[in-house]
Amino acid sequence: MKPKKAAPWTPRFFVTVGFGSEIGFISADMETEAGAITDNSSFGSGSAVFSAELGYYLAPKHRVSVLVGIGDVEVEGYEDGSTSSRYKEPVGTLRLFARYAFLFGSGRVRPYAGGGLGWANLVHTVMTDTIEEYGNELSDAHIMTGVFVNVVVGAQICLTSSCRFTAHLEVNEYWNAWNADNEENSARNVALHFLAGLGYHF
């Protein structure tokens, strides 16, 4: 009896939704929203981010996709140079990336790695020094806008035997390749974005 031929590969689409947060590395001498200059390189916290990804499998282990992520950060500052009168305003964050990923293995858990390129507007809050005269501690912010390189490492977990429904966990590194605000040395600014979500594979 002849062995049964394997079913031919059928290209398939997938869609995922996710939720995550991030930390941003802000290099020294960058200007914050309140006009302060960062004396030292530091980390700042980012917003909660909702994301969606639409992709296409070129082969069982190769896929390309477009990812969109949005968030919102309350940016705090002082009115007209005052050290006592503050303002707060929401600033939206955006991520729009074209990505490629290679999946290692075809079991229940499928690690993957890849990269991409896209446009992003990232906001990270930074705690500044307390002003002793007023006892105020300002939650300042730094914004990175421009072209970013995206490096991603993650794992896809099959929730069904057909792997039609999946969960995923991933870590993204965003590297500011070109800054729209003409910040000098902006390429030293990076962000680490942690993302978890669910997917459906057509």
Q: How many residues does the chain have?
A: 202
Q: Which amino acid is present at 91?
A: V
Interval 121-163: pLDDT, tens: 999 887 665 555 555 566 778 888 999 999 999 999 999 988 8
Q: State the DSSP H helix or E strand holding residue 62, giving kind and residue range, or none if neither.
A: strand 62-78
Backbone angles phi, psi at 187, to 5 degrees: -65, -15
Residue 2 predicted with pLDDT over 60: no
Domains of the chain from N-terminus onward: 13-195 (2.40.160)
Backbone angles phi, psi at 17, to 5 degrees: -125, 145
Q: Which amino acid is present at 131?
A: I
Res 33: pLDDT: 74
The better pLDDT of the pair 25, 140 is held by 25
Cβ atoms of 98 and 116 closer than 8 Å = yes
Interval 73-108: pLDDT, tens: 887 766 665 656 667 778 889 999 999 999 998 889
Q: Which of 118, 113, 82 is nearest to 100 (CA)?
A: 113
The 10 Å Cβ neighbour count of residue 119 is 14
Q: How many CA atoms lie less than 13 Å away from 92 in the CB half-sphere? A: 5
Q: Give, in order, the Cα–Cα distances in Å from 202 to each of 90, 101, 105, 164.
A: 37, 18, 19, 7
Res 31: pLDDT: 79
